[in-house]
Amino acid sequence: MRSTRIGLIAAAAALALGASACGSNSSDGGASGGSGGDSIKIGIKFDQPGLGLKKGDEYTGMDVDVAKYVAKELGYDADKIEWVQSPSAQRENLISTGQVKLIFATYSITDARKEKVSFAGPYFVAGQDLLVRADDSSITGPDTLDGKKLCSVTGSTSAQKVKDKVPGVNLQEFGTYSECVAALVSKGVDALTTDDTILAGYAAQEQYKGKLKVVGKPFSEERYGVGLKKGDTALCQKVTDAINKMISDGSWQKAVDDNLGPAGYKPPAGNPPTPDACA
């Protein structure tokens, strides 16, 4: 009787452990299944108008639309997406620790980043520019930033590019672009640098109309990729195939027009892009 009781207890414990393991998917970004069965965790920015913006329970922007399209091709309906805020400085960590499966967050593809994560795409090509106050005619490009206070976001590639180009610039790094914009309006800084897509989105916001302007002289090429776990070539290929389909069926152009068109933004040369082969 004693051995039978011990055997039943052991079997119950094993069953509970198995159920727990099957029910957990936190280590893979909440995407262990597919075909709409489970959820998928996708990282976006929460404070970038026209790209990735959270207002209440609503998420809008081009990054959001591209993410929804790709998720659908992977088997996840929109209501199966769990959006995760992904600040620039935290993106690699969110991917490597499995807190997200994919990141669509104006994530420029660079060699340094590819040492830590893999990229599908690009799905868009932007250019770095400057946002200044509308009444400021002294800043016309990076070469006029010497001695000026320039704001960018911690962990972004934009600030370092300008610092390398103009050693005399006074760099201010904040946690989010919205903080930089607020500092620019209040004259705490003289300019904000990042991708022209992001700057156009802020300049077009109702509260900033007539107060801010994009200089309009892009001085870099930023290839937006989809960040994913390093070495996951199977997922990379699926995402790349989805991006290609989105471009070919017209959904990509609609996402650009719907989200960036109202700011008067016109995509630069190189769009729509040709996604790289996954390796």
- Residue by residue, DSSP assigns 54-75 as EETTEEESHHHHHHHHHHHHHT
Helical pair 233-248 and 251-260, crossing angle rounded to 10 deg: 80
Structure tokens at 25: 């998917």
Question: pLDDT by residue (tens digit) across 82-128?
Answer: 999 999 889 999 999 999 999 999 999 999 999 999 999 999 999 99
Residue with tokens 């800084």: 189
212: left (phi over 0), alpha (psi -120 to 50) or beta: beta
Q: HSE of 131 in the Cβ direction (CA atoms, 13 Å)? A: 31
At residue 265, the pLDDT reads 83
**Whole-number Å distance between alpha carbons of 260 and 273:** 16
Q: Do the Cβ atoms of 126 and 195 come closer than 8 Å?
A: yes
Position 206 pLDDT exceeds 90: no
Output b/e per residue, 67-90; b: 16+ Cβ within 10 A: bbbbbbebbbeeebbebbbbbbeb
Q: Which residue has the higher pLDDT, 91 or 266?
A: 91
| Residue 270 backbone phi and psi in degrees, to 5 | 105, -5
Burial of 190 (0-12, 13-18, 19+ CB in 10 A): buried
Does pTM top 0.75 for this prediction? Answer: yes
Q: Which of 33-37, 201-205, 239-243, 256-260 has the lowest average pLDDT?
A: 33-37
Mean pLDDT lowest for which of 32-46, 144-158, 265-279? 32-46
**pLDDT over 90, % of the chain:** 66
Can you tell me the distance from the alpha carbon of 118 to that of 197, in angstroms, rounded to the nearest whole number?
Answer: 23
170-185 pLDDT, tens digit per residue, is 999 998 888 999 999 9
All domains of the chain in start order, with CATH:
26-126+223-263 (3.40.190.10), 128-214 (3.40.190.10)
Q: How confident is the model at residue 27 (pLDDT cuts 50, 70, 90)?
A: low
Q: Which residue has the higher pLDDT, 228 or 266?
A: 228
Q: What is the pLDDT of residue 204?
A: 83
Q: Residue 157: pLDDT band by 50, 70, 90 thresholds?
A: confident
Is 50 exceeded by the pLDDT of residue 44? yes
Q: What is the mean pLDDT of the chain?
A: 87
| Tokens 């103009």 -> residue | 166
Q: Is the pLDDT of residue 226 over 60?
A: yes
